[in-house]
Structure 1
């Protein structure tokens, strides 16, 4: 996890200039990094090169506690199987893993993890350009409000639903062969803590998984 905290500080503070979250120890951690937060980190040659965080909407999250004004008084989906997608970033530069850009693997991995864990949808506060990207790559997107102008630019709240068709679309567009996930044997399902993800029925494995050794340097882990 220290690698993840340092990667987040390097990307969001040093690179993107989010001075409000700068820390003297070089670790980027906030009030939402609790035990129920899910950390999806893309590793390559033992280095973190991409990252996303998923937060349960049944507890405080960014839309509920930081940006509720962008809903203009409206409500947003909240459910044990709906998470908020935050802190999505890939290291600067043309990082290729098995000839595939790291950004493509990260985006595919988030979608794939949702299918594995039974997460029905994600809420996202993002730039309208990313909304168009999600739609074009197979996510089922519902706009929850109009774009709002914040300090960091335009932000639109949306709900994005993953699907097997969407995962197939990612594999086709990005020439990804096989699963992006390397699940620990005892990685617990965030929706059903009494079960482990490795024991869940996962149809995508049978349909898209090839030789996992070809992807040993590309994986997402909690």
Structure 2
């Protein structure tokens, strides 16, 4: 199966691919992780799916979406700032055109693994966010994520460190942290083939 990585902003994404992203997010966040999210017609979306959002996503040969990221600028509203500000402790939410929030990372359950730690889709999505950052002048990503993803990032050597109050928080049933991921040579090496 070939994996095609695509990138689009909210206004330009083809409707079937956008629907595929929302369907995958429903499968991962609502069904698999059992997050308490509003959904309709087996699709998960929220107020951050708007004209500020960009999407990096993976499609297979049949054009089915099987992995995705949502990217939001920190110069406007984004999840860490407006939904999870308590995770920041005394720290102020980043507001910088060169810092972008990553959210809604999802990979289909049936993605085949290329090694013991990552699927081909996962690695291609991480390569894509690195390349996107370099091409757009992004110096750092921030994300609210599970400790499982934090462990994965450390295992593949993507640079990351906790920010905010640096504590583990239970968000729904998911033990979560706030991470900063600087865009640097270590990131490039971690995601290079």
TM range (shorter): 0.7 to 0.9
**Match in the other structure for 2:54:** 38
Per-residue displacement from partner, 1:172-219 (whole Å, max 9, x unpaired)?
xxxx3xxxxxxxxxxxxxxxxxxxxxxxxxxxxxxxxxxxxxxxxxxx
The Cα of 1:95 is off from its aligned counterpart by 3.0
Query: Number of residue pairs matched?
Result: 169
Report SS of the residue matched to 1:30.
coil
**Match in the other structure for 2:151:** 132
The Cα of 1:151 is off from its aligned counterpart by 2.1
C-alpha distance in 2 between matches for 1:19 and 1:132:
24
C-alpha distance in 2 between matches for 1:19 and 1:65:
17
For structure 1, the 5+ residue unaligned runs are 177-222
**Match in the other structure for 1:56:** 73
**Match in the other structure for 1:76:** 93
For structure 2, the 5+ residue unaligned runs are 1-17
| Structure-2 change in CA distance of 1:49 and 1:68 (3 Å) | same
Report SS of the residue matched to 2:160.
strand
Equivalent pair of 1:115/1:163 in contact (CA under 8 Å) = no
TM-score, structure 2 normalization: 0.77
C-alpha distance in 2 between matches for 1:166 and 1:120:
11
The Cα of 1:50 is off from its aligned counterpart by 0.3
Per-residue displacement from partner, 1:14-65 (whole Å, max 9, x unpaired)?
3332343221x33222100111111111111111110011111111111111
Report SS of the residue matched to 2:69.
strand
TM-score, structure 1 normalization: 0.68
- Note the aligned Cα RMSD (angstroms): 2.1
1:168 aligns with 2:184: no
**Match in the other structure for 1:146:** 167
